[in-house]
Structure 1
Amino acid sequence: MKILIVGLGSMGKRRIRNMQYLRQEEIIGFDPREDRCKEVLEKYGVRSFQDINQALKEKPNAMIISTPPDLHMAYAKIAIKNNIHFFTEASVVQDDMLEVIKMLEKNDIVGLPSCTMRYHPIVKMIKTILEKNIIGKPLSFLYHSGQYLPDWHPWEDYRKFYVAKKETGACREIVPFELIWLTDLFGKIKTVSGHKSKVSHLEVDIDDIYNILLEFENGMESTLTVDVIARFPFRQLKILGEKGVILADWSEKNVKYYTNENGWTENKVDDGIVEENYIHGEGPYIEEMSSFLDSIQKKIEQPYTFKEDLQILKILEIIESSSESGLKKNVGN
């Protein structure tokens, strides 16, 4: 296949690496910025265009949309109209997503939204532990995801890219990113109580911390904290079960669990090579791209859909509504 990478920033370059790892040889790029087009040519040998119409003349079979989130659906519609399979990075705004869903229903192409964390070896190991009933029925979890915003892209001013905008703010973006895999592990959410605020001196007009109480349909009562103020990049999960506990730490790259019968069992995890200026390994992203290719070739069912993604974004809205009203909110599924 010929693959068009739309957007050649941090994620676009990662997707080029992913596809080259998967031995996809026909890769082209698009970005309105000349410097980015030159960079991917020098680093990866990928020919790029500053005009999307010129890129489309190359007749790509698949499009990977790695633009800021508020542009995802615009390029998704371009892909559908040109009968091109497409993948979008993590979403945070609904925009025309419902329209895209309806367009996909009338077309025989694959449109796949990102669910990267479901491919992470830590998440997959946790899922296995839960499925084996090692800690019994899960009753609650405490999860913290945080990283200081200026460290996200150390090569550019954090005040000048999409994470500084209210609608696509960094903290707001990460909440649905985490909910995608948390709901895959623990099921549907019944109610939420949320509180978001700006507590730091970061020079952006965004909320920099979200504290959320989640009540699941299975009875679990859990807490989720997402921030962009932590000076060390945290991703830590504690799951309390009837027979034991699970502790997962993404920075330490380990998952350990405890039961009264056997004490602690620890497992180290490898998420692949970590590229310069990146924090997370390439492994889950490569697997996600492999899944996209397999979906196109009908080898597997689509692992995650825009209908599911839209529901996650609606939960984000309900969390924010709860913060504004101070009330617990029901989540309709």
Structure 2
Amino acid sequence: MKVLIIGLGSIGLRHVRNLLTNTTYKIVIFTKRKYPEFKENKRITLSDSLEKCLQEKPTVAFITNETAYHISLATLLTKNGLDLFIEKPLSNSLDGIKKLQKITKQKKLITQIGCNLRFHKCIKRIKKLITQKKIGKIVSVQCETGSFLPDWHPYEDYRNGYAAKKELGGGVILTMIHDIDYLYWFFGKPIQVFSTSGKFSDLKISVEDYSASIIKFKKNITAELHLDFFQRPEFRSIKIKGTKGIIYWDSETNEIKLFSNQNNKWISVLKLKKFDRNQMYVDEMNHFLKCVKSKKKTINSLSEGIDTLKIALAMKNSAKYGRVIRLAF
């Protein structure tokens, strides 16, 4: 197998290093950036020409460049018969989505959207607890995710990154789509959303740095989702309230706690003593490559990426027009 990497920003670099460490595959990298560490590596071919990269005959591609360019490149690559791993979010609009979906279906290509939280041990366990109905009928959910954008890549000016620029598909809603994705994974397709968002901090960016949303799912489940680009320290949490108790997790402790209404006490379900952040990325990569080999559908295929993108865009439209947006899938 030969792997094509499109773009060599921070996530592209992570995938290259994980491929080098965990596989024996040859890697072709399409980038204009210069990385001396890769020039002497016999497994790597670097080029700033996509045409030359395709001449190397890769069989799969990781699309890790700026969000706004995902669909056009994905469409080109599917026409060449490549299975695709597309970093989140799928895009910043629905333009070209149907065409891409049609080609992948016709060619029976394997696709995966890069939402690594689906491979976080705590998020996976929460999914299992929900399936097992450990807290009865779920009524409400509160999620929070906040971080300070300049801290993401201290080695570069945050103002130049894609997350800070509207034209590149940035903004906290699309960039932090992870949380929208795992809510969708937990509870399915929502019915409607109502959001408020805007650029409220002192960050020098052209996109929203704050979003607060109420997302209504089927079975009368309501989720409140807070996203921001200005919080220190970085923090993520979820609290799920049901008729029989509560499930709670946060990134600071990396512990899942379950409250039982019947016993009137908290118990620890899972606590990660040593959390290796990179393991999520290794696991999602291995899952994708395994599905490519077996020609089986991935845990988060193109169709699911389209659904989560629709939710994110509905949140943006709700904030823009100041009204509830009903979702059609």
| Same fold, judged at TM 0.5 (above) | yes
The answer on 1:312 being equivalent to 2:314 is no
Structure 1 residue 20: deviation in Å? Answer: 2.7
Partner of 2:221: 220
TM-score, normalising length from structure 2?
0.92
Q: Tell whether the 8 Å contact from 1:138 to 1:220 is kept in structure 2 after alignment.
A: yes
Q: Who is 2:92 aligned against?
A: 93
2:174 and 2:312 in contact (8 A); partners too: no
Kindly provide the amino acid, as one letter, of the partner of residue 147 in structure 1.
Answer: S
User: What is the identity, as a one-letter code, of the residue corresponding to 1:285?
Assistant: Y
**C-alpha displacement of 1:255:** 1.1
Q: 1:251 to 1:64 in 2, by over 3 A?
A: same
Instruction: Quote how far apart the aligned CAs of 1:185 are.
Output: 0.6
Structure 1 residue 215, shift from structure 2 partner? 1.1
Q: Deviations over 1:31-77 (max 9, x none)?
A: 112x24x2444799733222222222211111111111111122212
For residues 189-244 of structure 1, give each alpha carbon's deviation from its aligned partner in whole angstroms, at most 9, with x where no partner exists.
11111000111111111111000011111101220011101021111111111111
Match of 1:62 in 2: 60
Asked if structure 2 preserves the Cα contact closer than 8 Å seen for 1:149 and 1:170, the reply is no
Q: Is the 8 A contact 1:8 1:40 kept in 2?
A: no
**How far, CA to CA, are the matches of 1:270 and 1:88 in structure 2?**
31
SS for the counterpart of 1:147 is strand
Partner of 1:278: none
Question: Once superposed, what is the RMSD of the aligned Cα atoms?
Answer: 2.0
Change (3 A) 1:199 1:268: same
Partner in structure 2 of residue 268 of structure 1: 271
The 4+ residue runs of structure 1 with deviation greater than 6 A are 42-45
- Distance in 2 between the 1:306 and 1:29 partners? 23
Alignment CA distance shift 1:236-1:44 (3 Å): farther
Q: TM-score, structure 1 length as denominator?
A: 0.91
2:206 counterpart letter in structure 1? D
2:173 and 2:316 in contact (8 A); partners too:
no
The residue identity in structure 1 corresponding to 2:328 is G
Change over 3 Å in CA distance of 1:321–1:170 after alignment to 2:
closer
Match of 2:27 in 1: 27
Matched, 1:246 2:247: yes
Which residue number in structure 2 is paired with residue 232 of structure 1? 233
Structure 1's unaligned 5+ residue stretches are: 274-280
The aligned length equals 324
Structure 2 CA distance for partners of 1:181 and 1:44, relative to 1, 3 Å? farther
Q: Identity, % of aligned pairs?
A: 30
**Cα distance in 2 between the residues matched to 1:269 and 1:331:** 36
For 2:161 and 2:257, locate their aligned partners in 1 and report how far apart those are by CA, in whole Å.
Answer: 37
Quick one: distance in 2 between partners of 1:127 and 1:270? Answer: 20
Q: Note the residue ranges of structure 2 that are not aligned, 5 or more in a row.
A: none
Measure, in 2, the Cα distance between the counterparts of 1:227 and 1:41: 38
SS at match of 1:185: helix
Q: Which residue of 1 aligns with 2:327?
A: 331
Amino acid at match of 2:272: V
* Residues 296-328 of structure 1, C-alpha deviations (whole Å, 9 max, x = no match): 112632222222222222222222222122222
Q: Distance in 1 between matches of 2:239 and 2:195?
A: 20
SS at match of 1:297: helix
Cα separation, partners in 2 of 1:60 and 1:217, compared to 1, 3 Å: same
